[in-house]
Structure 1
Amino acid sequence: MSPTSIVDVPTTLGILPDAVVAKYLSRGMQAGQENPPRAALLKAAVPLPENGSRWHTEPVRELCEEAMRRFEDRRVHADAWLAPRLHATIRMTRAEAAERGLWNYLAMLVAPDYVVWRHKGSEVAETTRFSGRSDVQAFARLWWAAELFRDGADYGPVATVFAYQDIVNSVMRSGVIDHRPAAAAMLRVIQRLVDEKVARVSDHVNALSRAANAAGSTLMFDVLAPDTPTDSDAHRGWIAESAHAAAVQLNHLPDGPDDGVVNRRSVEELVPLFEKFLAEAPLRDRSKEKTESA
């Protein structure tokens, strides 16, 4: 598949069950050699409860095509660019974004070529990139990274998440990132590692993620470092504005929902704790593991 091979993209998003993806996703599609069976997929898809403009596919399709043009020779870098723009384009609540079928639909019927372009290895793009957990599915991982690491309307911190692919892969699996000050504190520690050009950054990040998760089972981060409650009315208003919002800027970061910044004092409380976790966590050299298993 190429950016010009996807025709007749559905006008609006829908829900495509996991079982449908499992039935129709072929190795030829994963390799980019076949187009998805559009008619069969549309027949099996479930319409969304409401058909508002925020579910229109054209803006998402245009972003995917732009990403493929911009990052043709450096595909990994597309993540940091696309994540905030995808989030600002598909405006929804976390409950709505938790519907896996929405991301299945996007990957199979709106931009399967992007999935292959971005995630194809030596032969094929893995099945989980079309239909999988929110930390691995091609589009869900981008939207959720922007949601979990934005600072209110500011998407700036999201770029740090994608500085190294192993960072997003490990951090996105960490349960502590649901707590905004903990997520921000973790990013502060990661940014220090990056700025200081620490060797084996990914191994350090994985160690930090494991240690923070282990501590989270006995420590309550929301008690140690409470966050300011988000403004749900502001978030709903931001979603409602999608009916007349202009397309996101391609060369400048968009604005997210102005529903409250992360509690700065709580972040400052947690940074030394996370630095302590990192200092005490056993550092596993995963590069050696990859070499030994090769």
Structure 2
Amino acid sequence: MPRATHDIPQVLGLLPDAVVAKHLSHAIRSGQETPPQVALRKAATLLPPTEARWHTAPLRQLLEEAMRRFDDRRTAADAWLAPRLHATLRLTRAEAADGRLWNYLALLVAPDYVLWRHQGTETTATSRFSGAHYTQAFSRLWWAAELFRDGADYRPVETACRVQDVLNTTLRLDVIDHRPTALAIVRILDRLIADGIPRPGDHVNALSSAVNTAGSTLVYDVLAPDPGGEGEAVLDWIAEAQDAPAVPFERLPDGPDDGRVSAQSVDTLVALFDKLLAEAPRRQRPTLRPASPGVIPQQAIEAQRPVL
């Protein structure tokens, strides 16, 4: 497990994209150098230290535990970390949409985690440090927890994050903002996993594409009404961060109690999505048949490479 080799700030802040682009070198992305702390801190805007939710110590403790637990199976860290990151870093959606916060977390608080989780054979993609909400190392986990939770219940988040295709593909879709749609996809995924279906991610990709396409002609919020979460409950949950204990490691924490999704709405969409999945074309993977003894076709090698 990597150890932090830099001085970790005590409070989170906001770090502009332009500053990240200027300083995020190949040497940093390959782990040969640490981010330039002085220059980055000078360019950042600190958040109020009087608010406990901006303190970095609970985040560091959480990330170090994830690295310790999952050092030999790093993709598995996502399902464990996503709900706990969400419950530790309590944000409104507007706050979570500010990429400067995630830049600061990745470059100044936990660059070691970004490298640990996402470094390929040589370097880590720039987008894992500073990128879209569905690719940035921490933002993607926070948003997965936000979009797939069922009120205070994070169990659907664990299921969603067990399959990397959900994070890499489904999280990009606009329709996933509709809570019954998100939970219907997770319900089907849970069934695929329980049934032992090989490569459930291929099915999720096919379903996500079909759901997104159908969503251009079908109005899911008409078929499966959802009044949305209670905004006041989320604000109360955020305010409780001031005195909240650290999230538990051995059981799921509780999210904001802003109302569960209608079971009837989810059932309606599961029935529809089952039909879409049955008709959706799935990825055709090359068969590993060597052209000559001891030689594996290059396209087969590429198809088997994991997405980091």
Which bracket does the TM-score occupy, shorter chain normalised? Answer: over 0.9
CA deviation digits over 1:168-217, x for unaligned, max 9? 21111122110000100011111122122223322211111111001111
Letter of the 1:291 partner, please give it.
A
Match of 1:53 in 2: 52
Match of 2:171 in 1: 172
Output aligned runs, 1:7-18, within 5 Å: 8-18=7-17
Q: 1:4: Cα distance to partner?
A: 3.7
Alpha carbons 1:181, 1:270 under 8 Å: kept:
yes
Match of 1:216 in 2: 215
Match of 1:5 in 2: 5
The alignment partner of 2:247 has SS state of coil
Letter of the 1:244 partner, please give it.
D
Alpha carbons 2:4, 2:110 under 8 Å: kept:
no
Match of 2:274 in 1: 275
Q: 1:50: Cα distance to partner?
A: 7.7
Alpha carbons 1:116, 1:125 under 8 Å: kept:
yes
Match of 1:102 in 2: 101
Match of 2:152 in 1: 153
Q: 1:68: Cα distance to partner?
A: 0.9
Output aligned runs, 1:130-279, within 5 Å: 130-279=129-278
| In the alignment, structure 1 residue 69 sits paired with structure 2 residue 68 | yes
Match of 2:300 in 1: 291
Unaligned runs of 5+ in 2: 288-297, 304-308
Letter of the 2:281 partner, please give it.
P
Unaligned runs of 5+ in 1: none
**Which of 108-117 and 41-50 deviates more?**
41-50
Alpha carbons 2:87, 2:253 under 8 Å: kept:
yes
CA deviation digits over 1:44-97, x for unaligned, max 9? 112337851111111101111111111111111111111111100110111110
Q: In the aligned structure 2, how far is the partner of 1:143 from the partner of 1:136?
A: 11
Alpha carbons 1:228, 1:263 under 8 Å: kept:
no
Q: 1:292: Cα distance to partner?
A: 7.6
Alpha carbons 2:11, 2:49 under 8 Å: kept:
no
Match of 1:82 in 2: 81
Identical-pair percentage? 60
Cα RMSD for the two superposed structures = 1.8
Q: In the aligned structure 2, how far is the partner of 1:282 from the partner of 1:12?
A: 48
Letter of the 2:11 partner, please give it.
T
**Which of 233-242 and 223-232 deviates more?**
223-232
Closer/same/farther in 2, CA of residues 231 and 122 from structure 1, 3 Å limit:
same
Alpha carbons 1:203, 1:286 under 8 Å: kept:
no
Alpha carbons 2:78, 2:162 under 8 Å: kept:
no
Alpha carbons 1:12, 1:51 under 8 Å: kept:
no
Q: 1:228: Cα distance to partner?
A: 3.4
Closer/same/farther in 2, CA of residues 27 and 148 from structure 1, 3 Å limit:
same
Q: 1:163: Cα distance to partner?
A: 1.9
Q: What TM-score, normalized to structure 2?
A: 0.91
Letter of the 1:56 partner, please give it.
H
How many residues in Structure 1 have an aligned counterpart in Structure 2?
293
